[in-house]
């Protein structure tokens, strides 16, 4: 069903690609508890779709911001207990996004600050407009990142760079974000969404089952010592065999024809 254009989060699914749009442009798409709850609900709905029916998702923002951060006015007078509840909600929403079985691409069209940067970090790839800006500026508010930024940023760009960005709260350009490995690619503003959707379509053409397995192996192996990560890879690799996609993919290779994947089991 087509979502209401006034909803704070819009979700559309076309040709196996889900597009999630943060839709509070008047608030620069700031994240408050209500938006986080809705994001979690929408992501869980996508996760429950039949295997192979959604093969990639794109997350973007309406207007000039991707997400300019959490709603500070809503957080200003929180007690430590209330702040913990907010952090729990933010982590739950972004963990749900990160654990979607298919790839998720952030199309960062503008400011990705604080919670917005953390939202992008929960995605598999980050593509950015040349106008985009990234920061974890929480120290300037007397707090630290609360939606997974300390862990995800250090895994994305390395611990030394993450320390610098988090301790200083410095804002970086899209080009600098690409240079340090935070962003995968930078495009002119009018090319960002078309290029991101092109990438999503390319991902939807390979075996959906294999991509889900690769994402599982990468996610489960992260943080483990190499022998343990390799054991996870062997288990997930072996489980691909006997699937319809594995049988079709290898038959197509041997027969020198394009594969016809069903992306399911």
Q: Which of 42, 62, 98, 138 is catalytic?
A: 138
118 is catalytic: yes
Sheet holding 111-113, edge to edge: 65-67, 111-113, 133-135, 172-173
Cα dist from 100 to 14, 48, 123, 211, 216, whole Å: 17, 9, 9, 12, 10
Tell me, yes or no, if 26 is annotated catalytic: no
Asked if 148 and 118 count as a contact pair (C-beta separation under 8 A), the reply is: yes
The per-residue DSSP string of 16-66 comes to TEEEEEE--GGGTT-B-HHHHHHHHHHHHHHHTSPTTT--EEEEEESTTEE
Q: Which of 82, 118, 164, 205 is catalytic?
A: 118
CA 180/CA 259 separation, integer angstroms: 37
CB 108 within 8 A of CB 127: yes
Catalytic residue numbers? 118, 138
């Amino acid at each position: 069903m087509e979502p209401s254009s006034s909803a704070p989060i819009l979700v559309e699914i076309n040709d196996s690609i889900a597009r999630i749009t943060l839709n509070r442009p008047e608030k620069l798409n700031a994240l408050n508890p209500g938006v986080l709850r809705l994001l979690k609900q929408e992501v869980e709905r996508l996760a429950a779709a039949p295997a192979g029916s959604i093969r990639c998702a794109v997350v973007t923002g309406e207007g000039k911001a991707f997400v300019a951060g959490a709603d500070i006015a809503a957080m200003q007078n929180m007690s430590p207990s209330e702040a913990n509840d907010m952090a729990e909600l933010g982590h739950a929403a972004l963990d749900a996004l990160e654990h979607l079985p298919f790839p998720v691409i952030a199309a960062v069209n503008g400011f990705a600050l604080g919670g917005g940067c953390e939202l992008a970090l929960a995605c598999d790839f980050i593509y950015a407009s040349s106008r985009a800006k990234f920061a974890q500026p929480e120290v300037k508010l007397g707090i630290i990142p609360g939606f997974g930024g300390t862990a995800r940023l250090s895994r994305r760009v390395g611990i030394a760079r993450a320390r610098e960005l988090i301790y200083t709260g410095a804002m970086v350009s899209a080009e600098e974000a690409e240079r340090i490995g935070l962003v995968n690619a930078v495009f002119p503003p009018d090319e960002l969404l078309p290029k991101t959707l092109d990438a999503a379509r390319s991902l939807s053409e390979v075996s959906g089952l294999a991509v889900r397995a690769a994402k599982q192996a990468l996610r489960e192996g992260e943080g483990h010592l190499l022998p343990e990560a390799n054991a996870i890879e062997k288990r997930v690799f072996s489980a691909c065999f006997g699937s319809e996609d594995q049988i079709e993919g290898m038959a197509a290779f041997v027969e020198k024809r394009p594969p016809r994947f069903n992306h399911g089991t």
